[in-house]
Structures are given as structure tokens and as C-alpha cells.
Structure 1
Amino acid sequence: MPSSSPAPAAPQPLTRGHKKRERTRRGLVDAARRLVARKEVGEIALLEIAAEAEVSNGTIYNYFRTRDEVLEAVGIAMATEFSDAISVLSSGLHSGAERLCVGVRMFINRAGDDHPWASALLRIIHFGEATRSRLAAHVLDDLRQGRREGAFAFEDEGIALDLVLSCTTGAMRAVVEGRTVAEHDVRVAEMVLKALGVTPAKARKIASLPLPVVNMDT
């Protein structure tokens, strides 16, 4: 007997007003990101974000009620954008250990290429749990697959996650502060793999593999 429920409505295209609202919101988030790169999170005021974005004080309250809401949006955007990009680039890798290694190295290398981005992420990752959760989602997938494959031998998933995130962000901070060694990303990734139970020889081999590159033709 056919269902009497109506068929789902097709998604409606964004109106000009919706597009303008989204542009304004994105501008506020980008402005907050620039401020976070320059100063400590606790020093940033909501109206300062409005000034940076060149909008009226009243406008910002149409999108965010508090500074914390803006900063959470910044953290989620930064974590999601780069983590998703790494996932796409490493989609051809079937090894959890290899994918984890790619993620660690690419975050460290991005810190070297873009100090303001790294400074902003480092300040905000400890501020909002949502940012950490977005980063953790990708790492957990790789940790679980690596353990299923027998490459990782950790006992506690939470501790393993903390290890990866702490080592990666610590290495990013070292890059920003100019405290790096030769092949900094490779050495950090190698040590992370060994801490997760990978044999020294295999850890060195995996950490030294070429990183995936963006295909500019797609």
C-alpha cells in the first residue's frame, strides 16, 4: 500500500538575503580568526571583532551573542577545513598508520608555511571543546584502523588520542617559535608512531614516505 506521506521537498536555492547573511557571518569569523592570530583569546572583545570585520556593533549581535560563540565558530572552521583537506589527499591510503602520519606531518608543515594560521589554531584549540572534537574525529578513525590492522598496540584510546594531538600541536608551536630540527615533521611523526606501538624500523619507513600532493588539474 503506497504511503500517504508527502515526498520530501526539494532543497530551495539560497536567496540573495541568505547569501548576504552567510557572507557577513563568514566575514565575522574571518575577522575573529585574524584577531586570534595576533593576540590571546581572553583579550578579544566582541565589539573588537565587529570593528575588525568593518560592520556595525549591532550587526554582530545578529549572528553571535557572545565572544565565545564566535571563537567556537572560528575553531570549528579551521579544524574542519584543514582536516577535511587532509582526508581527501590521503583517501588513497589504506593504512591507518600511514594516514595518521600524513595528518601529523601536514599540520606541522602548514604551521611552517602559515604562522598566523598556526598561532590562531594553537590559541583556540585549548579554548573550545568543539574544535578539539573536530580534530579528534579524523585521528580516532586512523587510530582505530591502525589497531585493527595490528600496527598500533595502545591500550587506552583516549590516551592515544591525547598523545597524537599533544605531540602535533607541540610540534606546531615549536615551528612557530623557531625551535625546529632537520626533518622536524618526519621525526615527530616517527616518534608518535613508535609511541603507539609501531616498530622503530617500520615507524621510520612510514614517516619518511612522500606526502600526497594536491592535483591542480582537478
Structure 2
Amino acid sequence: MAMKVNLVRRAEIGVERRRRTRAGMLRAGFHLIGQEHGRFQRIEDICAEASVSRGTFYNYFSGLEDFYGALSFELSSDFEVAVEKQMQRLTTVSARTGAAIRYHLHAARQNPHWGWAMLHTSIDKEIFGPEAAKRVKTTIQEGIDSGEFHVANAEAGKSLLLGASLGATLDILYRRARKDYPEDVAFSILTGLGVTKSRAGAIVRSALPELEPIMDADESSPVNFWSEEV
């Protein structure tokens, strides 16, 4: 029985060691990528920052694309859950859309390291990544079906929303925008989608509840929006 207990404990230690190693590489990647010029990093750069070998890197990730995908998930998962929790209280597609835009743009202002890392890890075949594009396209279609949005199709609406949000995020990160810029952008996107000016104005002027952290970043996740350390 004692031998079985020791083997179980040894396995637990191994799992924890692997978790810590993987988390350390992701934190190192966040440190490098969460900067203005952090887009183009090499595997060697990440390994040096995390003090691991190239072989260790490949024990956890198949390459840079896989690493960026994992980091993007860690950066966005808890934040997206927190946003979704607040948006469940809103009854219209246009109100949820306006809130989502404002939350993301204010987040880039609040934590620029997170904002830069989100940009650098997400821009590929789709702005902000395929999962975000899929969610936005679904939302636009819901707005069209409900009669709230008046655009040619969901694809066009998706491009309008994500393209404007990308430009606005860059304006914020480069400090070209005033404090209420997220509201200006949300208003412009909503009216571009066909929402009336009076309705769009009411949406962007409504109170935006503070997001509640989902996890303790230090214990549960290698990188997290609510941790500004980089």
C-alpha cells in the first residue's frame, strides 16, 4: 500500500511540475508579446525568457502558432466569461453588442500589456482570431434576424465591427484617444449596423458595470487580464 501511495504522489508531482513549466513559458511569452513591438518573437526568445531549452518548448507546444494560440486562450478566457456574465443581463442584441465593444476597448486602456498581447496573438486569418470572429458573426446575424441591425449580411457586419474595433484598439494603445473614446466607437459601430442614433446614444451612455474577476491569476492561470504584471 505504501508503494502505491508513493507512486500516486510521484505522479501528482510530475503533473504539477509540467503545469508550472508550461505556465512559466506562457508568462514569459506574455512578457515579450505584451509590448508595442512584441509581435515577432522567436522560439529561442521565449525559451531564453523562460530559462528552458528548445526541446522543453517542443514538449509542450508544436510550434509558435500553437504557442500563440495557447497564450491567446489564457489571455481571453476569463475575461470573456466575465463579459458574458454581465451581458446576460441585457435583453437586446444591440445593447449586448455595445457593451461588448466598450468592455474590450476600456480593457485595452486599463491594461495595455494585455491589449498588446491580445493584438499580437490574435491577428491571423481573422481579426482577433477565429473564435471572436465566429461569436461576432453569430451576434450580427441575431441582430439582423431580430430587426435591430440593417446590414447586407452577417459577414459585412462582422468586418465592420472587428475592423473598427481593431483601429480603435490601436488608437487607445498608442494614446491617440480620449477617455470616452470607447463610447464614441461603440456609437459609430452601432449606427453603422443600422441602429438609430437615439438608441445607440442611450446604449453607450448606460452604466457599464465593473467586470468581476473569474480566477486568481497567481494561482489558477499563467496569465490573466486582472494581473497587470508583465
Q: TM-score range by the shorter chain?
A: 0.7 to 0.9
Q: 1:48 deviation in Å? A: 1.4
Task: Please list, as runs of the form range in 1=range in 2, the aligned pairs for 1:69-218 lying within 5 A after superposition.
Answer: 69-127=66-124, 129=126, 132-214=129-211
- Counterpart CA distance in 2 for 1:182 and 1:63 is 41
**Contact 1:72 1:128 survives alignment (8 Å):** no
Matched pairs, number: 202
Is 1:53 aligned with 2:45? no
Deviation of the 1:97 alpha carbon:
0.8
Q: Is the 8 A contact 1:37 1:116 kept in 2?
A: yes
Question: Secondary structure of 2:34's match?
Answer: helix
Residue 22 (structure 1) aligns with:
19
Give the TM-score normalised by the residue count of structure 1: 0.83
Runs (4+) of structure 1 exceeding 4 A deviation are 128-131
How far apart in 1 are the matches of 2:197 and 2:126?
Answer: 33
Q: Distance in 1 between matches of 2:182 and 2:22?
A: 35
**Structure 2 gaps, min length 5:** 1-10, 214-230
With structure 2 as the length reference, what TM-score do the two structures score?
0.79
CA deviation digits over 1:40-72, x for unaligned, max 9? 433x11121112123233311211232222122
Question: Is 1:27–1:53's contact at 8 Å kept on the other side of the alignment?
Answer: yes
Q: 1:118 to 1:99 in 2, by over 3 A?
A: same
Q: Matches of 1:200 and 1:49 in 2, distance apart?
A: 47
Identity %: 26
Task: Please report how far the alpha carbon of residue 126 of structure 1 lies from its aligned counterpart in structure 2 after TM superposition.
Answer: 1.7
Is the 1:72–1:130 Cα contact (8 Å) retained in structure 2? no
SS of 2:150's partner is coil
Mind listing any 5+ residue stretches in structure 1 that lack a counterpart? 1-13
- In 2, distance between residues paired with 1:130 and 1:74? 16
Decide whether aligned partners of structure 1 residues 63 and 215 sit closer, same or farther in structure 2, where only a CA change above 3 A counts.
Answer: closer
Distance 1:130 1:170 in 2: 11
Aligned-CA RMSD value: 2.2
The 3 A distance-change label for structure 1 pair 171 and 206 is same
